[in-house]
């Protein structure tokens, strides 16, 4: 046998047998695209989770970042995966594959209705619980500053119940029984919302770096934006991205941001881990980049953020 043939066979064997070859890409399908799956406005099959979290006696405010001990360089990348009552969005498998390929742990804040739309993908994601943790992002993006107390409770509990249902169906038992972290749609809250969320046992996680600014489909633009994102990032930062194909070109931006932060010696951790590494820095009123910059969104997405004209009451 020719040397080159032996060499080729050797490479082939190494690729097939080596453990690093077990990354297998999740194939992007048309059902992953935005609005590809028909909208379903019905309440979830199960309205209440069977697992109840112990109430948190104090609300912890809105966590924007974590103050880490001197010299510790860790950040958390987070992704919102959400849709309104009135439409469906996508599941950004290119983002998911990039995170898996690079072994970057991430926290995924999923809307309950979005989980039902993309249930097959959620169950796949659940099988990689070592890399991904799932947080609660309300049922249909209800605005926590505008919902009634009953409406807010239903938005949260329906989502916990949907997660439980999919966890059961996935057959995975090494992930938490229900999410313990919560992300505010539109970053909006008030004191009552913080009390209700804490009463249901969840901690509110926001971000100090809103990463996506406009369209990142163009690689050059994504590279420029990534430099700005990296410049805003500090040890203990929580970065906000989306993985629902609503902002365009997120995967390009993410790749560049990860490359820069990796080069600067940052370690990527899930939010739950970041919280154990230092002291949470909080505010009372969530915002994107400056206090009050999200209040204008109150009037844009229906009566209470869900896209509907009628109030969301939580009564099926």
Site of interaction with Zn ion (CB under 5 A): 80, 82, 185
Q: Nearer Cβ to Zn ion, position 186 or 268?
A: 186
What is d(CA 284, CA 191) in angstroms, rounded to the nearest whole number? 7
Residues in Cβ contact with 202 at an 8 Å cutoff, skipping those fewer than 6 apart: 53, 56, 136, 156, 179, 180, 181, 182
Q: Nearer Cβ to Zn ion, position 80 or 208?
A: 80
What is d(CA 123, CA 253) in angstroms, rounded to the nearest whole number? 26
Question: What region does 10 belong to: left with phi over 0, alpha with psi -120 to 50, or beta?
Answer: alpha
CB of 238 to Zn ion, least distance (A): 15
CB of 36 to Zn ion, least distance (A): 19
Q: Nearer Cβ to Zn ion, position 82 or 251?
A: 82
CB distance 302 to 294 below 8 Å: no
Q: Nearer Cβ to Zn ion, position 80 or 256?
A: 80
Give the max Cα distance, the chain: 76
CB of 138 to Zn ion, least distance (A): 8
CB of 80 to Zn ion, least distance (A): 4
Which letter does DSSP use for residue 30 in this model?
A: G
CB of 58 to Zn ion, least distance (A): 26
Q: Nearer Cβ to Zn ion, position 68 or 117?
A: 117
Beta bridge mates, 283 = 62
Q: Nearer Cβ to Zn ion, position 182 or 266?
A: 182
CB of 250 to Zn ion, least distance (A): 13
The 3-state secondary structure of 234-278 reads CCCEEEEEECCCCCCCHHHHHHHHHHHHHHCCCEECCHHHHHHHC
Q: Nearer Cβ to Zn ion, position 185 or 286?
A: 185
Single out the residue of 96, 30, 34 nearest to residue 246, CA to CA: 34
The residue whose Cβ lies closest to Zn ion is: 82
What is d(CA 27, CA 157) in angstroms, rounded to the nearest whole number? 32
Single out the residue of 68, 39, 30, 59 nearest to residue 233, CA to CA: 68
CB of 137 to Zn ion, least distance (A): 6
CB of 67 to Zn ion, least distance (A): 26
Which backbone phi and psi does 283 adopt, to 5 degrees? -130, 170
26: tokens are 């999740």
Q: Nearer Cβ to Zn ion, position 144 or 200?
A: 144
């Amino acid at each position: 046998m020719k040397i080159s043939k032996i060499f080729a066979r050797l490479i082939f064997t190494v690729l097939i047998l080596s453990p690093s070859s077990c990354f297998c890409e999740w194939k992007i399908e048309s059902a992953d695209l935005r609005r590809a799956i028909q909208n379903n406005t019905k309440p979830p099959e199960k309205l209440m989770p069977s697992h109840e979290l112990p109430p948190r006696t104090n609300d912890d405010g809105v966590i924007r970042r974590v103050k880490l001990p001197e010299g510790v360089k860790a950040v958390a990348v987070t992704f919102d995966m959400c849709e309104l009552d009135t439409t469906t969005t996508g599941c950004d498998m290119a983002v998911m594959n990039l995170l898996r390929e690079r072994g970057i742990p991430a926290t995924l804040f999923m809307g309950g209705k979005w989980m039902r739309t993309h249930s097959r993908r959620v169950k796949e994601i659940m099988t990689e619980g070592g890399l991904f943790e799932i947080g609660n992002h309300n049922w249909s993006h209800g605005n926590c500053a505008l919902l009634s107390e009953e409406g807010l409770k239903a938005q949260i509990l329906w989502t916990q119940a949907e997660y439980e249902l999919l966890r059961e169906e996935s057959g995975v038992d090494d992930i938490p029984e229900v999410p313990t972290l919560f992300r505010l749609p539109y970053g909006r809250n008030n004191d009552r919302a913080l009390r209700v969320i804490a009463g249901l046992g969840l901690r509110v996680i926001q971000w100090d770096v809103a990463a996506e600014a406009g369209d990142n489909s163009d690689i050059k633009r994504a590279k420029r934006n990534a430099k700005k994102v990296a410049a805003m990032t500090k040890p203990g930062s929580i970065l906000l991205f989306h993985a629902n194909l609503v902002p365009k070109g997120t995967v390009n931006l993410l790749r560049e941001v990860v490359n820069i932060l990796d080069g600067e010696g940052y370690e990527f951790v899930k939010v739950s881990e970041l919280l154990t590494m230092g002291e949470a820095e909080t505010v009372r009123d969530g915002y994107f980049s400056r206090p009050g910059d999200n209040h204008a969104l109150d009037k844009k997405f229906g009566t209470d953020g869900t896209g509907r004209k009628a109030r969301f009451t939580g009564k099926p």
